[in-house]
Amino acid sequence: MEIKDISRLYEIVEKNQITTNKLDLICYSLDLAPLPESLLKSYGMISPDVVVRPKNTQELSQIVAFANQRDIPITPRGAATTAAGGAIPIEGGIVLDLCSLNKVLEFNEEDQYVRVETGLEFQRLIDWLEAKGWQLGAYPSSAPSATIGGYLGAGAGAGVGIPKYGNIGDQIISLKVVLADGRIVQTSPGESWLFIGSEGTLGVIGEIALRVFKKGKRKFYLFGFDSLYAGINALTELIKLRPYFISFLDKGFVTFLNEVGASRLPLKELTVPLVIEGSEQELERDEKKVNEICSAATRYREKLAIEEWHHRFKVGLSFKSLGPSILVQELRVPLVKLEEVLREIKSMLAEERWGIESLASDNNTIVLVVYILADERNKADYFKKFAYIQKFGNLEIDYNSTPFGIGLHNTALMPKIHTEEALQVMRSLKGYLDPKNILNPSKTTQIRVPGLMAASSMKMMGIIPEVVEFGLESASYMPLSLTRLGLKMMGGKLK
Amino acid sequence: MKRSELVEAVYTCGSCGYCRFGCPVYQQVGFERVSVRGRMQFFKKLLEGKLDFDSCKDELVEAIYQCAGCENCTVECPTGIEFSPICEALREDLVNRGLLPENLKPVRDTLIEKSNPYGEARETRGSWIPKQHVPPKESKYLYFVSCTAAFSLNRVARSVVKILDDIGFEFTILGNEEECCGSPLLRLGEMEAAKEQINKNVEKFDKYGVETIFTACAGCYRTLSHYYPEDFKVLHTVQLFDKLIKEGKLVFDKEFPKKVLYFDGCDLGRHMDIYEEPRNILRAIPGLELVELDYNREKAVCCGGPLMGSFPDLAPNIAAEIVKEASEKGVELILTPCATCMLNFKSGAGVADVQIDVQDIPMFIPKFIKKQEKPKPPEESNP
Ligand SMILES: Cc1cc2nc3c(=O)[nH]c(=O)nc-3n(C[C@H](O)[C@H](O)[C@H](O)COP(=O)(O)OP(=O)(O)OC[C@H]3O[C@@H](n4cnc5c(N)ncnc54)[C@H](O)[C@@H]3O)c2cc1C
Ligand code: SF4
Ligand code: SF4
């Protein structure tokens, strides 16, 4: 949909908060994933017309109201560090860049909460709070760029702090949400959950009042385990101690780090960084338990453990030059299934160079981030690797795991994850809150590329990637309207 | 930089966006086209032939020049992408295609013709110099004055000379024979013209038997260290002063009981890794209370000074943010190692509507120096 007239936007915000610069429109069409252009074209993507960055919730509300009135698609975007396409403005229209919505509005030490705008990067909030002796209860490893709103939108599934303080959803006192018609509503803690993981399809979160915690003393560990079995057992026990941070790196991952000089760790089956936090007595008590649990493991010097902690935001990308592309697959696995899943992954990726880093999550689950080295310039090979996406999808279903974010690319999995009834409920909710379907259309419950079509093209990518490459390249010369018509006829949900 | 290095960077970039955190330009402009991530995204389209250069030439040229070269992004980048040299190489490429932005052409012409950015006559470069240092003489030590101190901020140069004369430190000054160090031309992408200035300076260094060069200008210091032959030892005056203080040759005995911010100018900080020497100097002044910005040393956010000429509307706004933070912290004086920062902070204070004094370290310290009983005779060898 092409916006005929954006002049009204200039009445809402200053000129320098709006861009239609061609280069901007390219940047704002993308998220973290380096997808071939032809693939996005095959989605019938329409380029966005304009990017607006509101500076407060009022402006945000007026922009959304304008979009609703004119029936213009509007896609909220934080730092776009997600890779499932959630922040991709697939139907064009307005991209709402929320990163200028970044003020700390209130800090209440007595009642232990902070009220901030949601485009604030976690890193800035963490630094600000920690300088005052406070800390957050949950944040992602992409903190130097990830926004608070984006974390909530993406589901806030994993992160630092979660094993100790639980999911950020439980730490929300209230949200200020802009609904599709522009109304601003304030949620109660329970209602807040509605918007977590809704990927900007139900409302745009403008402000959050969030619990903060007194920063305790911290103790840093780094362990190496020679066997997967021992490592996973220890991990399971360590999580019960409710550490502030725990993760694991597998052998492949550490190999990558060593290769680029980002670490010099011995190669063990599992390497486990751990941070416990609390009062002097708590630390003493936990320290004993940690030592018991990890008695058979190699314990590295504290200096290395602290380094690991300082690098926690960077490790995942530090070896990217080895690809130079990396295909990332994320899945949430119940701890009890972890060993089996790791073995499955190992056999599945036998032909690849890969490594795994985990992120601790809640409810005794762990999020695996699987990094597969690739080179996007070698299109056929790259497409072949895309076929793993489907294999990971199946793995998820076999092991009661769930994908980590639905966005655009994983919508076809929704009927496998949820019952038809549950999907219906979600769709009615969307229909109720956003009757014109302007908020981030074609995401989550709206399956753009129908399951069968997605599944079969994935299969073909694995078997005859050259043909798929040729097909996509040729199709990208097809008129957009034809692609969109085709998708619609196949049952794809387009706006 | 070769094309292959750009290609490598473009494909290595993980689009994580960490580079935006401390980028002065992104934080002010607010749109991705000026983030390194954004640039990598559209460079990829260019390299892959999905974006036609001519269709967005103006936008591209602007995006390539709208970078302060401060390297904050490099500190944040998990994949180790060094955008600043890439950006310089891209500018060189644009210059070779005749695409230097119009508003910068007069700047370039002045730099080439007059060998200074102020448009002052070459013959007046040394007019500020005290008699005892004219004409230049053979010496192991050379004070490289810089265009700014020679033309615009004589006080800086006079201070440096006075401090060193008072303790009997032997050195020479090139006077009118000094050329611009080449930094402004390098930043414009005019590599060839910059090389000419560099070569002329090197000739003079050789002519006077210079072994060690010191300068109070952070930009000259970086350029002399990174773009000149390695035959010369290069020092910034903060290193020299710090050393003299440690050796007891420079002593402060007057108080300055105020809150002072030392600002880590990028040319001295991230580009040259000098963070502690200037702080040591200021700590040696009795009563002076050093204040730090939330993000300092290698994380310090650039003041935007390098963009004063090319984006005059942008640069002071960037500085204004820092001035505001300083003022909120009760700072009464900002000290910089760099005249560019100093000038930009002055404009920034105007934008922020904040009363704050801004000075350069050499201008600031003379009044606190303990008077020597009698001037020491020149020593055989300097420290
Ligand atoms: C190196 C690295 C490490 C990571 N580590 C973690 C981790 O530990 N845990 C984890 O959970 N994830 C992690 N991620 C994934 C991702 O970075 C996080 O989920 C992050 O919080 C997303 O924030 P964002 O601002 O980039 O969101 P975006 O990608 O911009 O947006 C995500 C979704 O939310 C929507 N949205 C954005 N802002 C709002 C808003 N204000 N209101 C409503 N909807 C909104 C968008 O439309 C989109 O659908 C990591 C990613 C990287 C690259
Ligand atoms: S060098 Fe500085 S101004 Fe340029 S992109 Fe990097 S952080 Fe921004
Ligand atoms: S920080 Fe580095 S890897 Fe991340 S987006 Fe910026 S340039 Fe790319």
ipTM: 0.96
Chain A residues inside the 8 Å CB shell of B55: 22
Contact B315, B323 (CB under 8 A): no
pLDDT tens readout for residues B298-349: 999 999 999 999 999 999 999 999 999 999 999 999 999 998 999 999 999 9
Q: By a Cβ cutoff of 8 Å, what residues of chain B touch chain A?
A: 8, 11-18, 20-21, 29-33, 35, 37-38, 41-42, 45, 48, 50-51, 55-56, 59-60, 63, 76, 78-80, 294
Q: For residue A261, what pLDDT band results from cuts at 50, 70 and 90? A: very high
pLDDT tens readout for residues A115-141: 999 999 999 999 999 999 999 999 999
Distance, CA of B108 to CA of A73 (rounded, Å): 46
Residues A8 and A57 in one domain: yes
Chain B residues inside the 8 Å CB shell of A144: 16-18, 21, 76
Contact A163, A246 (CB under 8 A): yes
Which neighbouring-strand residues pair with A410?
none
Distance, CA of B315 to CA of A293 (rounded, Å): 56
pLDDT at A451: 76
Say yes or no to pLDDT of B374 above 80: no
Contact A203, A195 (CB under 8 A): yes
pLDDT at B346: 96
Q: For residue A380, what pLDDT band results from cuts at 50, 70 and 90? A: confident
Distance, CA of B188 to CA of B101 (rounded, Å): 9
Residues A68 and A10 in one domain: yes
Domain spans, chain B: 3-99, 105-245, 251-368
Distance, CA of B298 to CA of B316 (rounded, Å): 21
Residues A53 and A130 in one domain: no
Residues A191 and A108 in one domain: yes
Same fold yes or no, B105-245 and B251-368: yes
Give the long-range contacts of residues B93-96, CB within 8 A, separation 24 or more: B93/B189, B94/B61, B94/B64, B94/B189, B95/B188, B95/B189, B95/B190, B95/B191
Q: Which residue has the tokens 């769709």?
A: A427
| Among candidates A22, A124, A142 on the partner chain, residue whose Cβ is nearest the Cβ of B16 | A142
Q: How far is A426 from chain B (nearest CA, A)?
A: 31
pLDDT at A454: 79
Say yes or no to pLDDT of A476 above 70: yes
Residue where a domain terminates, one of A74, A97, A120: A97
Say yes or no to pLDDT of B292 above 70: yes
Determine whether the interchain pair A24/B31 forms a contact, defined as Cβ–Cβ distance below 8 Å: yes
CATH number at residue A126: 3.30.465.10
Residue A404 lies in a domain: no
CATH number at residue A345: 3.40.462.40
What burial class does residue B8 get, using C-beta atoms within 10 Å of its C-beta: 0-12 exposed, 13-18 middle, 19+ buried? middle
Residues A182 and A85 in one domain: no
Q: How far is the CA of A147 from the centre of ligand 2 (A)?
A: 21
Q: How far is the CA of A405 from the centre of ligand 1 (A)?
A: 9
Say yes or no to pLDDT of B375 above 60: no
Please give the span between the terminal C-alpha atoms of chain A, in angstroms, as a whole number: 9
pLDDT tens readout for residues A2-40: 566 788 999 999 999 999 999 999 999 999 998 888 888
Residue owning the nearest CA to atom 2 of ligand 2: B70
| Among candidates B12, B32, B50 on the partner chain, residue whose Cβ is nearest the Cβ of A24 | B32
Q: How far is the CA of A154 from the centre of ligand 1 (A)?
A: 5
Average pLDDT of chain B, as a whole number:
95
CATH number at residue A76: 3.30.43.10
Please give the span between the terminal C-alpha atoms of chain B, in angstroms, as a whole number: 38
pLDDT at A272: 97
Residues A342 and A423 in one domain: no
Determine whether the interchain pair A34/B15 forms a contact, defined as Cβ–Cβ distance below 8 Å: yes
Q: Which of A135, A138, A132, A101 is nearest to A116 (CA)?
A: A101
Residues A198 and A273 in one domain: no
Q: For residue B1, what pLDDT band results from cuts at 50, 70 and 90? A: low
Contact A246, A272 (CB under 8 A): yes
Distance, CA of A213 to CA of A207 (rounded, Å): 19
Residue A436 lies in a domain: yes
The helix (run of H) or strand (run of E) holding residue A87 is none
pLDDT at A331: 87
Chain A residues inside the 8 Å CB shell of B72: none
Q: For residue A173, what pLDDT band results from cuts at 50, 70 and 90? A: very high
pLDDT tens readout for residues B237-255: 999 999 999 999 999 999 9
pLDDT tens readout for residues B74-119: 999 999 999 999 999 999 999 999 999 999 999 999 999 999 999 9
Determine whether the interchain pair B41/A142 forms a contact, defined as Cβ–Cβ distance below 8 Å: no
Bigger pLDDT: A242 vs B383: A242
Domain B251-368, CATH class in plain words? alpha beta
pLDDT at B373: 63
| Among candidates A128, A145, A325 on the partner chain, residue whose Cβ is nearest the Cβ of B20 | A145
Average pLDDT of chain A, as a whole number:
93
Would you state the torsion angle of the CA atoms of residues B124, B127, B129, B130, taken in this order, to the nearest 10 degrees?
160
Q: Find out whether the beta carbon of B260 lies less than 6 Å from any atom of ligand 2.
A: no
Residues A234 and A363 in one domain: yes
pLDDT tens readout for residues B4-22: 889 999 999 999 999 999 9
Determine whether the interchain pair B76/A144 forms a contact, defined as Cβ–Cβ distance below 8 Å: yes
Q: For residue A387, what pLDDT band results from cuts at 50, 70 and 90? A: confident
Residue A364 CA from chain centroid, whole number: 19
What burial class does residue B364 get, using C-beta atoms within 10 Å of its C-beta: 0-12 exposed, 13-18 middle, 19+ buried? buried
Residues A419 and A439 in one domain: yes
Pocket test for ligand 2, best of B31, B302, B308, B311 (most atoms within 8 A of CB): B302
pLDDT tens readout for residues A340-360: 999 999 999 999 999 999 988
DSSP at A297: S
Compute φ and ψ for A245, nearest 5 degrees.
Answer: -145, 135
Find the residue in B nearest to A51 (Cα): B31
Say yes or no to pLDDT of A236 above 60: yes
A491: which residues sit within 8 A by CB, 6+ positions away? A447, A450
Q: Find out whether the beta carbon of A205 lies less than 6 Å from any atom of ligand 1.
A: yes
B105-245: CATH topology: Rossmann fold (3.40.50)
Contact B207, B135 (CB under 8 A): no
Determine whether the interchain pair A23/B294 forms a contact, defined as Cβ–Cβ distance below 8 Å: no
Residue where a domain terminates, one of A76, A97, A118: A97
Residue A137 lies in a domain: yes
Residue where a domain terminates, one of A54, A73, A97: A97
Determine whether the interchain pair A320/B38 forms a contact, defined as Cβ–Cβ distance below 8 Å: no
One-letter amino acid of A58: Q
The helix (run of H) or strand (run of E) holding residue A59 is helix A57-70
Residue owning the nearest CA to atom 6 of ligand 2: B73
Q: How far is B60 from chain A (nearest CA, A)?
A: 8
Domain count, chain A: 4
Residues A16 and A92 in one domain: yes
Residue owning the nearest CA to atom 4 of ligand 2: B67
Residues A291 and A178 in one domain: no
Residue A453 lies in a domain: yes
Q: How many residues does chain A have?
A: 495
Compute φ and ψ for B144, nearest 5 degrees.
Answer: -90, 115
Say yes or no to pLDDT of B25 above 90: yes
pLDDT at A114: 98
- Please compute the mean of the pLDDT values over residues B358-369 and round it to a whole number: 93
Q: How far is the CA of A78 from the centre of ligand 1 (A)?
A: 7
Determine whether the interchain pair B17/A314 forms a contact, defined as Cβ–Cβ distance below 8 Å: no
What is the extent of the structural domain holding A134?
104-214
Residues A199 and A231 in one domain: no
pLDDT tens readout for residues A266-286: 999 999 999 999 999 999 999
- Point out the ligand 1 atom lying closest to the alpha carbon of residue A151: 21
pLDDT tens readout for residues A183-200: 999 999 999 999 999 999
Q: How far is the CA of B204 from the centre of ligand 2 (A)?
A: 34
Q: In what order do the strands lie in the sheet with B172-173?
A: B172-173, B141-144, B212-215, B233-236
